[in-house]
Structure 1
Amino acid sequence: MRILRSHRRPCPVRPPSRPSNPTRPTGPCRTKRTTRPWRRQGPATLVACATLVAASCAGRPATQQPVVVHTTAASGGAVAATTVDDPAQYVNPFVGTQSPTDDYGGGGMAGNTFPGAVAPLGMVQWSPDTVSRQPGGYVYDDNRIHGFSLTHISGAGCGDYDNVPFMPFLGSTPVASSTFSHTNESASPGTYSVTLDDGIRTDLAATPRSGIAQFSYPAGQQASLTVDAGTAANAATGSITLGSAQLSGYTDSGNFCNSGNHYRLYFTVAFDHPFSQASVSGGSLAQLSFDTTTSQTVTARVGLSFVSVAGAQANLQAEQGSDTFGQVQTATRASWDSMLSRIAVSGGSSTDTRTFYTALYHALQDPSVFSDVNGQYIGFDGQQHTVAAGHTQYADFSGWDIYRSQIQLLALLAPQQASDIGQSIVNQGQQDGYLDRWTLANTGTGVMVGDPMTIIASDLYAFGATGFDAQTLLQLAVTGAENDKERGDHEGYDAMGYVPASADSESASVTLEYASADFAISQLAQRLGNSTVWQEFLHRAQDWRNLLNSGTGYIGPRNTDHSFQAQDPTSSSGFAEGTSSQYTWLVPQNLQGLIATLGGDSAVSSRLDAFFGHLNAGTNAPYAYLGNEPSVATPWIYDYAGSPSRTQAVVRQALTTLFSDAPNGEPGNDDLGELSSWAVWAAVGLYPEVPGRSELAMASPLFPAITITRGNGVVINLNAPAAADNAPYVTGLTVNGAASEQPWLPESLISNGGTLQYALSSTASSWGSAAADAPPSFDVGPATPVTGQVTGLAGKCMDVLHSQTASGTPVQIWDCNGTAAQQWTLASDGSVQAFGSCLDVTQSGTADNTKVQLWTCNGTGAQQWWPRPDGSLLNPPSGRCLDLPNSDTTDGNQLQIYDCNGTGAQKWTVP
């Protein structure tokens, strides 16, 4: 699906200024599964004036500028903690609302964010909607606002919400839209303000479940307002009931990405002026007028609920009471400061600081509060439920996107809220019978591919957000792996180790996503002490090998008969929003295995260098597409391939060229904070590379001092005195005072905290490049290879014919004789090797009686042999076992694969 894009305007001559009225916002700048639409945007081709605009927004020259920070005295030689005053002042909510120049298909070209008022993880997201549409509701280059709606989705490639727009106007005839200038507009965390060209000023502020607006009308004119329950991003209907100075009602909408989802949202609005005129047309459009002779500002208080009007009223009363607009504004800004200050940075330029805190702000908006203040919410079963006291149900999970780094960031900074998010996933799964990929309000949409909710839950648990029913989640994940709704086309994946091309047009990417989910399930199972599920799903997580075409060196779609489809590395055939060039790297759980299969460290580093020849090349290119999720983890692969200096260089280049603090400062759809979270991790210089794990791959910090204070009190300090935009290279590191050469950090840093001291340079070094220092990968064979005889029936040995080493040499049964032809190594990659070559199924066959042979090791599924508890050796892509034909122990009988049957012909004793 392609979204109509707006016309690009020249760079604004003058940026918005900070408002002087104390009641106005303050801040530095006003600043498919069912359907699987193609919904991405192009690269952030930064306009020349972006830096000047961003700098002048803050009233300073575009140079190094002071950032207000403090350090707390430390004892015993420890690095002092960094704190930051009012980090909300560095946020520009307009970032992501303007398009760069290229569009790579669907979702518009901008980050699709919105500039309006929202509290951290808030239900109310009250923001202007322009006539030109983007899924965030607001197009920076359009100067026409047609309403201020109460709910939004930040950064998605498809539109939904934008419910119940309020539109102020003069006189008795409603307007379709009103024009405005960015010079009369401002925004900062929790608040938004604009003066329209007709002279009406609108100020918005929000709490988690309520909002407050001030509509200030010119003197001497009729002050009017429409409230529309029948308008949203998609088709909507609704109902409004009027009182003398209040109204209430509901709106029905949905159909995110044409998925057919549905939700009902209730609202209540209390005005401080009685209606001088009021009417409702069509049952859903209220037209109101007010007598503003003595007071030109009309205040409206709004409560929202997905349960009932009574719930909306209770939410409004609990979260606002009689607070003034200024008090609501101040309290929400304080909430943002509390969240944003959990990563305090100092020493960088104002541009870098604004880019950083804006990204952190966008990464902390979703998932959003869904339950009322009394804990009630409508579940995925359509029934009313109540969460435990002190807890919250959350909604809006952009699963395919946020599992990569946003949810880990949220768990790192806010483990209590993240635990409730974990329980929200459990609740969704129990009520719906499966875990949908992309959920909105209380329904699934089936959008995108894979099984991401299981990854999200495992990520949460790994990062310490453990306060949810993880045992039930694990049960849901295991059963969901065989649920058609959760894992479409799972039958082929279960039987052959991959989704065949005939079953799904995006089969290769689906397979890779399932393998990542399987690994995450295995890790959660291991943490919960379930060794059976751990082992089973750890093995399933290696199914990526079944799509690795050793002839081309790319992962690609495969047919039911196990043949590979003809493949063009620049084609997206077989993949969701990417190419085989981009998806071949999507094996985060076993990068060492992938690197070995692709030729080793040197070959992979060179291949990555070519891949990063362009950083944001789109969906039909052999290069990186860092504005889209399948590519976001790739820069850290150098850490695994002995070239961490290249990770440091590429991450820094991407961060400083694809992201900025200007409205066009995002290189793709933000996808409910995923892309923004990438920028946060990149600036800190750490990244959660592996699903379901909390080890962190390393780049380098952008700021000289960073302090991460987790919501549970754990503190991580990063000190890098020489940090600068042009000094990304690590030349030395100490972790808690001990020198380290490892370009990664263990899980203990997340759980216990610690101090990192960096030496940085503008010149690359060999730090961290030793093979022994690479980050851990997770394969299925023994960590240390084991060598010895493989014996079967009658105590005879598996043997290489005549000790020949050529590819294609038969593997047979023979009297044990102690020769090298009978010395087999169980390797860590799941292969069984002799003479440096691998036990292989001839021509990757899968039929009964297919013979086995010795062949050059190529990392494919045809060379995977997984020991099972009954003593058999399973070849996963065929689903068959290593077998002695007819149980005949005659010397020279060539081995084969055959249906696993538990007979002695399939029992092998391995080293």
Structure 2
Amino acid sequence: MSRRRLVGIVVPLLLPLIPVVAHAETVGDSSRYVNPFVGTQDGGPDFGHGGGAGMTFPGAVAPFGMMQWSPDTVRTAGGGYKYEDNRIYGFSMTHISGPGCTGAQDFPVLPISGIIGRSPAVDGAGYLQTFDHANEQANPGYYRVTTDSGVQTELTTSTRAGVARFTFPQSKPGTLLLDVTGSVNGVDDAEITIDGNTVSGWALTGGFCGARTRYRVYFHATFDRPITASGIWKDDVIKPGTTTTRGAAPTRRTNSGDIASNGLGTGAFLQFDSAQPVQMRTGLSYVSIDGACRNLAAEIGAKDFDTVRVDARDAWRRRLDQVQVNGGDQDRLRTFYSALYHVFLQPYIFDDVDGRYTGFDGQTHQVRPAAPGQPAHHYYATFSGWDIYRSEAQLLAWLAPDVASDIAQSMYDNAHVLGDVWDRWSHQNTITGVMNGDPYHSVVATAYAFGANDFDAEGALDSMVAGAERVGEKAGYTERPANDEYQRLGWVPGQVSDTLEYNIADFGISQLAQRLGNRAVSDKFLRSAHGWQHLYNPLTGWLQPRSAEGFFALLYDPSGTDGYVEGNGAQYHWMTFQDVRGLFDLMGGRAKAAGRLDTFFTQLNAGPHAPFAYLGNEPTLQTPWLYAWAGLPGRTQDVVRRARTELFGPTPNGLVGNDDLGTMSAWYVWASLGIYPVIPGRAELFVHSPAFTRAEIRRSSGEQFTISAPELDDAAPYIQSLQVNGENTTKAWLPESFALSGGRLDFTMGAQPGLEFGTAEADAPPSFGVPR
């Protein structure tokens, strides 16, 4: 699939039909359709928000796995791997899937053929391994590559540990280089120790998106073949036989995006007889080296590579088979299951097998005990809040409410130990403060709305209120910049995006309070969730930046980016999802709003400098479903079908923007199933044409869903009518009870949008106005 530049695409009332079904298949084992390389190559233009690729990684990982063992290329990428590059500098054990900034990539291991010459810190470029994609393979839980030097590397993982198998050319000894200072953003301190046939160490690192906070990560590795020679390098000095050393290294990247050889670094080299493959069994921990050792013993033990690989594939099969779709061609199935795979990568389990974890306060804590007969709870880490509250959090809460409950508890635990300080984008057990808004409140409220309520919701609500009402800094962090003005005025001066993000966060607090029976808190935050109304300029018909004195600029260009984050005025205008009816009324009614939406969707991925949709980035993800409030759900179906086809694919360039820890992938999963959760903090599902004739969904809590559209094909892409659990409905949305209880959707499809489906004003979805 070639790079797509989506410009000048006009949206007529009825678009040309896009093929829906060709050579339909029965899925069976859904894991065989996953392509972990999806998103590793540029699939769209770089609009300056992390590039035009998904920034995913192709390596071995278990569902929600702490150990994410994957190759890292010389060219920088958020996930560590740039498909366009053919140079590997190591196979590191920690990654982030889909961010626009680099982070993690701790403890890269590089196998080479031959003995070490000069220090890798000085001559790192001399040890880089080139490869061809023809000699590379990836499946869920498994990765393999044979480099041009003839060394084959295979990787597989459990949740907290992994096994690497290295096969060397027999003409020379095989050597492993393990760079303890190799984290992508450098390390402040590190240590590595060789003890017989084991190697262990730790690194103090961090720096995601320039954050000053640091985390400490540990590993413990054993080998099934004798180490015939070993030693340590530190900076430009090689010390054979040395067993322990400490060191540090600054950032490893140059301005060009390539790895830097700056003469600094610390690591170990291990030499082996190349007559037989070498298996490296490794455990990770964020608590201690002993924790890494226990994780390895509990999850891997004496298992060989192939056994661990089968276990990993089985774990993925069980997770992916929660959603079984039929009636799509190979490409559509591959795109769908590759997206679902990426949904289940992060957040990831952060506690050790004994339930211990390091919290945001740097102290060791214990995961709460599970109820008798229930699975163990886990502490989760790495939350891209600004992204995941729009699609990913909802999908996890729907499919895996046990996981989403633990995520909500983890977010609350993080805030609680810091004195009720809520982050926006957390990496490992550290605050980064990346992006804007206050999104964790929406994530927690959404989890509860979807029935993921096995967490301390009362404690979380109290903490959320404290965080949202705080003015200024606490624990070295400001949760809501300009919160004094936001609370005094109702808006953030000069900032539309900040105002709208705080509004959505406040709506989440209001919804959780309402569900917990706290009417006073619910009403207070529902009022503040309407601060966007202060930004509507009736002279222009747009939400605009407004000064503290109450003035709008005399001239306004909706394609301008001042006052917006990764978007513009035309894109943020629609982000009042808690009260779309209120926005439409200010705009002059449903017909005028629909006309503006038609213009907006003239382009689907226009970037931040054009007044059209930007569906390769987060702020406009929900906008296709706003037609439901205008009584025109057929136009939603048009836009969603176009986006599924034009912006997603089953190949490495199958994403046009950063996946952002599963956000874009979750959007595609929802879009393909024919349902979408538009309102953050709520569990209503909006309906549109599915991509498959049938889907069977099973929640981890046991509820089951069937979505059936047997007539769906090229000639019948539009919804004519819908039955919900056997009862006819004319509404293009489903009440919250459906997402919670399970049930069946039966679509009748046709060549034109149904004239009575979702068109009456009485069929409009709910809007939540200012309480009286």
TM-score, structure 2 normalization = 0.90
Tell me the SS of whatever aligns to 2:169.
coil
Alignment of 1:653 with 2:646, yes or no, is no
Deviations 1:175-200 (A, max 9, x none): 43111111110001111000111111
State the one-letter code of the partner of 1:771: E
CA 1:527–1:705 in structure 2 vs 1: closer, same or farther (change >3 Å)?
A: same
Structure 1 residue runs of 4 or more that deviate by more than 3 Å after TM superposition = 42-46, 62-66, 724-728
Of the three residues 527, 531, 535, the one matched with 2:523 is 535
Alignment of 1:438 with 2:425, yes or no, is yes
Aligned residue number for residue 268 of structure 1: 220
State the one-letter code of the partner of 2:750: S
Aligned residue number for residue 21 of structure 1: none
Alignment of 1:86 with 2:29, yes or no, is yes
State the one-letter code of the partner of 1:780: V
Q: Contact 2:40 / 2:81 at 8 angstroms: preserved in 1?
A: yes
Deviation at residue 100 of structure 1 after TM alignment: 2.6
Alignment of 1:491 with 2:484, yes or no, is yes
Tell me the SS of whatever aligns to 1:706.
strand
Deviation at residue 762 of structure 1 after TM alignment: 3.4
Deviations 1:777-818 (A, max 9, x none): 11125xxxxxxxxxxxxxxxxxxxxxxxxxxxxxxxxxxxxx
Aligned residue number for residue 408 of structure 2: 422
Deviation at residue 316 of structure 1 after TM alignment: 0.7
Tell me the SS of whatever aligns to 1:302.
strand
State the one-letter code of the partner of 1:215: F
Of the three residues 381, 394, 405, the one matched with 1:395 is 381
Q: How does 1:377-416 map to 2 (within 5 A)?
A: 377-389=357-369, 390-416=376-402
CA 1:176–1:107 in structure 2 vs 1: closer, same or farther (change >3 Å)?
A: farther
Q: Contact 1:210 / 1:304 at 8 angstroms: preserved in 2?
A: yes
CA distance in 1, matches of 2:455, 2:636: 35
Of the three residues 676, 679, 700, the one matched with 2:665 is 676
CA distance in 2, matches of 1:718, 1:466: 25
Deviation at residue 757 of structure 1 after TM alignment: 0.5
Structure 1 unaligned residues grouped into runs of 5+: 1-9, 12-41, 47-61, 70-84, 502-506, 782-866, 868-911
CA distance in 2, matches of 1:630, 1:183: 37
CA distance in 2, matches of 1:751, 1:101: 37
Of the three residues 167, 177, 199, the one matched with 1:226 is 177
CA 1:700–1:530 in structure 2 vs 1: closer, same or farther (change >3 Å)?
A: same
Aligned residue number for residue 564 of structure 1: 552
CA distance in 2, matches of 1:190, 1:418: 22
Q: Contact 1:187 / 1:193 at 8 angstroms: preserved in 2?
A: yes
Tell me the SS of whatever aligns to 2:486.
helix
CA distance in 1, matches of 2:6, 2:29: 30
CA 1:471–1:513 in structure 2 vs 1: closer, same or farther (change >3 Å)?
A: same
Alignment of 1:67 with 2:25, yes or no, is yes
Tell me the SS of whatever aligns to 2:469.
coil
CA distance in 2, matches of 1:255, 1:694: 35
Of the three residues 166, 170, 182, the one matched with 1:215 is 166
Deviation at residue 568 of structure 1 after TM alignment: 1.2
Alignment of 1:147 with 2:127, yes or no, is no
Q: How does 1:174-323 map to 2 (within 5 A)?
A: 175-236=126-187, 237-282=189-234, 283=245, 284-293=266-275, 295=276, 297-323=277-303
Alignment of 1:590 with 2:541, yes or no, is no
Deviation at residue 399 of structure 1 after TM alignment: 0.3
CA distance in 2, matches of 1:487, 1:101: 33
Tell me the SS of whatever aligns to 2:127.
coil
Q: How does 1:320-719 map to 2 (within 5 A)?
A: 320-389=300-369, 390-433=376-419, 434-483=421-470, 484=472, 485-501=478-494, 507-565=495-553, 566-719=555-708
Deviations 1:10-52 (A, max 9, x none): 97xxxxxxxxxxxxxxxxxxxxxxxxxxxxxx96769xxxxxx
Tell me the SS of whatever aligns to 2:324.
strand
CA distance in 2, matches of 1:360, 1:653: 20
If asked which structure has higher relative contact order (CA below 8 Å, sep 6+), I would say 2
Deviation at residue 287 of structure 1 after TM alignment: 0.7
Q: Contact 1:43 / 1:618 at 8 angstroms: preserved in 2?
A: no
Deviation at residue 727 of structure 1 after TM alignment: 4.0
CA 1:745–1:101 in structure 2 vs 1: closer, same or farther (change >3 Å)?
A: closer
Of the three residues 78, 94, 103, the one matched with 1:135 is 78
Deviation at residue 623 of structure 1 after TM alignment: 0.2
State the one-letter code of the partner of 2:344: L
State the one-letter code of the partner of 1:358: S
CA 1:688–1:614 in structure 2 vs 1: closer, same or farther (change >3 Å)?
A: same
Identity %: 47
Moved more, 491-500 or 236-245: 236-245
CA 1:101–1:457 in structure 2 vs 1: closer, same or farther (change >3 Å)?
A: closer
Q: Contact 1:512 / 1:586 at 8 angstroms: preserved in 2?
A: yes
State the one-letter code of the partner of 2:548: T
TM-score, structure 1 normalization = 0.76
Tell me the SS of whatever aligns to 2:766.
coil
CA distance in 2, matches of 1:731, 1:66: 22
State the one-letter code of the partner of 1:67: E
Moved more, 138-147 or 275-284: 275-284
CA distance in 2, matches of 1:637, 1:205: 43
CA 1:107–1:268 in structure 2 vs 1: closer, same or farther (change >3 Å)?
A: same
Deviation at residue 65 of structure 1 after TM alignment: 4.0
CA distance in 1, matches of 2:405, 2:578: 24
Tell me the SS of whatever aligns to 1:181.
strand
State the one-letter code of the partner of 2:221: V
State the aligned residue count.
706
Question: What value does the CA root-mean-square deviation take over the aligned residues?
Answer: 1.6
State the one-letter code of the partner of 1:285: G
CA 1:43–1:107 in structure 2 vs 1: closer, same or farther (change >3 Å)?
A: farther
Aligned residue number for residue 10 of structure 2: none
CA distance in 2, matches of 1:431, 1:326: 42
Tell me the SS of whatever aligns to 2:368.
coil
Deviations 1:622-675 (A, max 9, x none): 000001100101000001111000001101110111100011101210000000
Of the three residues 41, 51, 54, the one matched with 1:111 is 54
